[in-house]
Each structure stands twice: as C-alpha cells, then as structure tokens.
A and B are shown apart, each in its own frame.
Chain A
Amino acid sequence: MAEPAFAASRRALIDPLGATLAAIVAIAFLFQPLMLLRPNRIAPAQGAFAWEALPGLQPMACGIITALVVLILISRADARLRLAAAVAGLVGLGLAVGSGASHLLPPGSAYARVAPGAGAWLALFALSLATGDALVRLRLSPSGRIAALVVAAGVLAGFLASGLWSDLSVLREYASRSDAFLRELWVHAGLSVFSLLAAVVVGVPLAMLLRRVATLRRAALAALNVLQTIPSMALFGLLIAPLAWIGAHVPGAAALGIAGIGVAPAFIALFAYSLLPIVGSTIAGFEAVSERTREAADAMGMTAWQKLLRVELPLALPVILTGVRIVLVQNIGLSVIAGLVGGGGLGVFVFQGISQTATDLVLLGALPTVAMAFAAGIVFDALIDLSRRQETR
C-alpha cells in the first residue's frame, strides 16, 4: 500500500523531461568547459570551466542561476515559470559566454580565438529544449508562436548588436568578412525561397493535371521519386555538363546566367528536389477533399473555377502547406551544397572552413543555416494551423 503512494508522490514532485534536461544543464556547468581558448584559429583548444572563464563574482552568479534553473525544471512548476526559468537560463548563458570571451582573450592578441565550449553548447541544447517544451505546454495560438519567434529573434539580434559577443571567434570570423556574409546570406535565402516558389508554380498545376490522368500520375511520380533518390552532391555534379553545354550553345542562355557552375545548377537541383514533395502533397491534399463535398459544390451551381478556388484549394491548403514547409526547410539545408558548385550561399563558409580546418568558419556558415531552417519551420507550422479552419473531427 505504501509503495503506490510513494510512487504517486514522487510523480507529483518530479517532472521527468524537466529532470533530464536539468541533469544535462548541471553536468554542462560542473563537468564541461564553458569556453575554449586557442592561441590561433587552427591550433588545438584548451578548455576553461565557468569558474575559470568568468571574472570577479560572476562565477558565483552563474552558479546560482544554474542551480535555480535546475530546481525549477526538476519541479512540477507550471509552464509559465518553466518558460521564465529556461529563458533566463538562455540569456544568462549568452551573457556568460560573452563575458568569458572578453575575459579570456589575451589583450592585444590578434590571433587568439575564444569559442563557446562543450558546456556552453550542452547547456544551449538543454535550455532550448526546455524552452520549446514550456511553449508546447502553454499551447500557444499560431500567432502566439510567431510572436515568440519574433521575440527570440529580437533577443538574438540584441546580443549581436550590443557587442557583448564580439570577442567570440565566430564573430571574429564574421568581422573580417561581414560584406561577404550578408551577400551569401541573401543568396542562400534567395536560392531556398525562389527554387521553392518555382516548384510551387510548376508543381501545383502539374499535380492538378496529374490528378485527372491516373496513368500519367504513376509515371510522373515514379520519375520524381527516382530524382529524389539521386544524392544531392551527384545531382549538382550531373548538371554541370549539360548546363555548360546549354550556356555555350543556346543563344541568350549565358546572358541569363546559365553555365556549368554557378547559381543555375544549384537552382535547378533545388527545384528538382522540391518538385516531388510539392506534387505529392498537392495530390494528397486534393484527394483529401471528399467526393460528397465536391458533388455539393457542383450541385450548388459552382463553375469549375469557383469549385477549385472556394472549395478544393481551401480544403487542400493545409496539406499543400505541409509539403511547402518540408521543402523550404529541406532547401535551406540543401542550399549549403550550392557553395560547392559556385552557387554561393552560406555553404561557401562551410566549405572554406572545412578546407582550412577552421571550425569557427564552418560555424559561421552552419549556425545561420540552422536558425533559418528553424524559423521557417515555426512560421509554416503556424500558417498550417491557421489554414486548417475545419477541425479533423
């Protein structure tokens, strides 16, 4: 009899997911270095724990904040308090990393580099999950989730603009190539978004056509499936020869920027990868509209266009948007490869960094890519919820 009561009271006191995340935060603080110090950008790194990396009373403040966050996450505190704790932890981590970088960096050294260590990354991981978990528990409306994203972006921008992080190695890399960074960021976003738009413009009407012709549909979906299985590196490579030929022989093609390497093969490969999910989700979306609903639209006297615009598209939209979301997130990631074929984008820094074994340069390309994909996912999830006016019973 006593045992179930004990189990129940233990369940009531400890939050299982929160306890796991709290354990990671505690381990990160106690057993992993907060910062890494390198004499130059490719030399082996030396770790510094929080109490070594931070000046004055800051290690103590850092420890107190960590302890509070850990306690709140373990307890069954309500979602608001958990959110406050996780966000406070993230802001504290940001401040500590900035402060640690300034403190550790030898004055006057142009070559030394300070980067966040395993402890900082682990804590970032756990606290981000805790924030996400708290947001899920709050059951935010779609617009509420977008607002949370905007706030997060604002805080991040605030950190970047304040100069608190300017001694970090990634931002050192940024400082020496800020013009190139902004240019490649736009190229990256443009490649991802415009290849998606092209796939939507081609794929949605194509899907509506294929829906009517069953034999054509099987053939087309099989072809797109094969396309999807070609490894991205290979596809970029495969496109070089034909595009070079077109650029050299078709009048006007070169003027449009079509050549063996550059933006054209990157764009075409991304477009090709986008087509299957768009076509597939559009077909699925239209198939989800019940026959009875279609017939009702006919019987009410809607023309084919009115039926499409007023009934079929609105009902298929959530499923189509799910496909668009998958493609956008996928494209943001795949656009990195464009850096290999001269297409530009953030992949430029990733591959430069790899060839120079400069981790910080890799991160300069990778971190914004992850952030963009993350933000696109959140925005589209909210849009999908908004488009789903009717509930699934």
Chain B
Amino acid sequence: MIDFDSVSRLYGDRPAVADVSLRVGTGEIAVIVGTSGSGKTTLLRMVNRLVEPSSGRILIGGRDNRTLPAHALRRGIGYAIQGHGLFPHRTVAENIATVPSLLGWDAKRISARVDELLSLFHLDPALFRDRMPHQLSGGQQQRIGVARALAAEPPVLLMDEPFGALDPIIREKAQEDLLAIQKAYGTTIILVTHDMDEALHLGTRIGVMDAGRLVQYDVPHAIVAAPATDFVRSLLGAGDRAFHLLSLSTVEEMIESGEAPGAAIPADMSMRAALSESLWSRREALPVAKDGRVIGRVTRAALERRGAGPQ
C-alpha cells in the first residue's frame, strides 16, 4: 500500500531521514518508534508531503505521491496530530466536516457522516455537534481530532503521537478505539510514537528509527525476541523483555486440558496478565473460559516457558 523507496531528507548537511526503505501492507498498522530527533516525524510527514524528500520516492497504492498536487493528495490521507490541532473557531461538526466540505460533499451527506463518526467515538451527536473545541476535555478533543482525520474515509491514516497528551487510562481507551476502527474500515495506518509499549500494543509491524536511519522493521515478536541493535534493546527496556514477549500473545493458543481451581480467566487475556494472575492468586494453574464456558487451563510452568528468551 505504502512503499518508501530509499527516502532521505536533509536539513542543510544534516540528514533527518537517511535512506529509509520500508513497505506498509494494506490494512496494516505500522508503528514508527524512536527518540525525539530520530527522524520519525519527518518520515511520517513526507507521506502527505508536509515535508518533501531530498531524494528517493514514496509510492501510495503504487503511485508516486508527487503525481497529485499536494492539497489534492492530502485530502485523501487522514492526519491526526498530538494535541489534536482542532480549529478553535469552528464547532466540533465543522471541524470534522473539514475534508468532506473541501471535497464538495453535499450538506446532507456531511451531516450524516459527522453524526456517524461522533457515535463511533462514543460522543452523543446531539450534545457535541455544536460545541466549540475549548469546551471539550483533552480526551474528547483527541477523539474529535481522529474523527476529523477519518471523515472522508481515507484509505491511509497518518498519526503523529496521537495519544501523547492523554493520561494513561484515557490513552488505553483511545488505543482500543483505534484498533476497533481500524478493523472496521481496514484503514492502513502509520503511527509515530516514542513509547515502545504503545508500539508493541498497536503495531502490525514496528519500525525503529535511530538518528535518521531505520535500524529494524519487523513484527513485534521479532523485535522483542531479536532486537537488531543495542538501541532497540534499550527502547525495549532491559528488564521487561520477557513480559513484552508474553504481552504479545493471548492464552488461547496454549490452552491444555485439565482442571484448575478458582475463578476462570477469559481466553483473550494476554499471557502476561495470566502470569501475573497466577502469581498473585498463588495458583499453579488457571481455568480458561470462552463464551462463558470453561474450556481448559493454562499452567504457570507453560507461561514461564513462553517468556524464555532464545538460548
């Protein structure tokens, strides 16, 4: 869907992005992780040409993104930024309608789309349509920012630290919303963050940027199991690797038959949470339930084996 082909961007002599090639498949979430100054935001902004590459090219759906005028290209790409960037002089509905009205949708279609998106983000349209951005909480503003980015049903969505300004509980909720919406629309997403936990949670693939270079681009499992450089290892946090690995899978794939005492855990619980529950409740094995029925058990010993690194 999106191909970066030897893309570089120089500021003076200093490369902000140096020779990056990567491919994001249709319907995938590619998360670009890096420290500040690593070039991750510059890389993202070259997709919709807020920044032009110094060399290399970017293909979207096989077409060079410079074949269209910048403004026309951008209307087909959703963009959500940290701190939302809502227009302070426009109502919630007007903000969400920005791209559809630039595309010349008729008023009825726009209004229906605004209500649909507000409902999707759990905001009552009757209550929120006519509010001004400053009347919203931080979490609500962030949701409107994402709703605005999705308004014209773009096949591609770019997100620059979209959850950075949110407190942990609201952030987790926003991440779940994003995953649900991505599933519903099949949108291809490139998301930039400095938070490796967020990357592991959301990413189909994770790209790690260091000083303008893409040092590793792979599925989360591979990133955790085999970090390509010390920098990737340090982003993962030396002490948490086993838990990162466990958090990537659910217990469903390791259910074994047998009995176990106490309350059952759901089959879609992460292995990490299951291990924690096993330790906390002092049970060597936990019953697993799916659709309200106990279908087997997981043992602490099996969980420990899954968390072991390569020998």
Q: Which residues of A sit under 8 angstroms from B85, Cβ to Cβ?
A: 292-293, 295-296, 299
**Nearest CB in chain B to that of A387: its residue:** B89
Which residues of chain A are within 8 angstroms of B79 by Cβ–Cβ distance?
296, 299-300
Whether A299 lies near B88 (C-beta < 8 A) is no
Q: Indicate if the CB atoms of A299 and B73 lie closer than 8 Å.
A: no
Contact assessment for A314 and B89 in the assembled complex, using a CB-CB cutoff below 8 Å: yes
Contact between B50 and A295, CB atoms less than 8 A apart: yes
Question: Does A391 count as interface, using CB distance less than 8 angstroms?
Answer: yes
Q: Are B86's CB and A391's CB within 8 A?
A: no
Q: Are B71 and A302 closer than 8 Å at their CB atoms?
A: yes
Is residue A187 contacting chain B, with contact meaning CB distance below 8 A?
Answer: no
Chain B residues closer than 8 Å to A311, beta-carbon distance: 87, 89
If A300-B75, A301-B102, A306-B102 touch, whether A315 touches B81 (CB-CB below 8 Å) is no
Per-residue 0/1 for A380-393: is the Cβ within 8 Å of any B Cβ (1 yes, 0 no)?
A: 00000000011101
A390 to B75, CA, bound (A): 25
A298 touches B132 (CB 8 A): no
Instruction: Report whether A315 and B89 are in contact in the complex, using a CB–CB cutoff of 8 Å.
Output: yes
Set of chain A residues within 8 Å of B81, measured between Cβ atoms: 292, 295-296, 299
Is A143 an interface residue when CB atoms closer than 8 A count as contact? no
Instruction: Check if A302 sits within 8 Å of B134, measured CB to CB.
Output: no
Whether the Cβ atoms of B74 and A301 lie closer than 8 Å is yes
Q: Which residue of chain B lies nearest to A306 when distances are taken between CB atoms in the complex?
A: B102
Residue tally, chain B, CB below 8 Å to A: 23
A356 within 8 A of B: no
The size class of the interface chain A forms with chain B is 10 to 19
Q: Hey, which chain A residues are within 8 Å of B102, CB to CB?
A: 300-302, 306
Tell whether, in the assembled complex, residue A301 and residue B89 are in contact, meaning their CB atoms are under 8 Å apart: no
Residue of B nearest to A392 (CB): B134
**Contacts A390-B89, A391-B134 hold; do A298 and B73 have CB atoms under 8 A apart?**
no
Q: Which residues of B contact A303 (CB under 8 A)?
A: 71
A388 to B: closest C-beta gap in Å: 9
Which B residues from 44 to 75 make CB contacts under 8 A with A?
48, 50, 71-75
Rounded to whole angstroms, the CA-CA distance of A301 and B148 in the bound complex is: 12
B residues lining the A interface (CB < 8 Å): 48, 50, 71-76, 79, 81, 83, 85-89, 98-99, 102, 132-134, 148
| 27 CB-based A-B contacts, threshold 8 Å | A292-B81, A293-B85, A293-B87, A293-B88, A295-B50, A298-B50, A298-B74, A299-B48, A299-B50, A299-B74, A299-B81, A300-B74, A300-B79, A300-B102, A301-B74, A301-B99, A302-B102, A306-B71, A306-B102, A311-B87, A311-B89, A315-B89, A389-B132, A390-B88, A390-B132, A390-B134, A391-B132
8 tightest A-B contacts by CB?
A301-B75, A296-B85, A301-B74, A299-B79, A390-B88, A292-B85, A390-B89, A301-B71
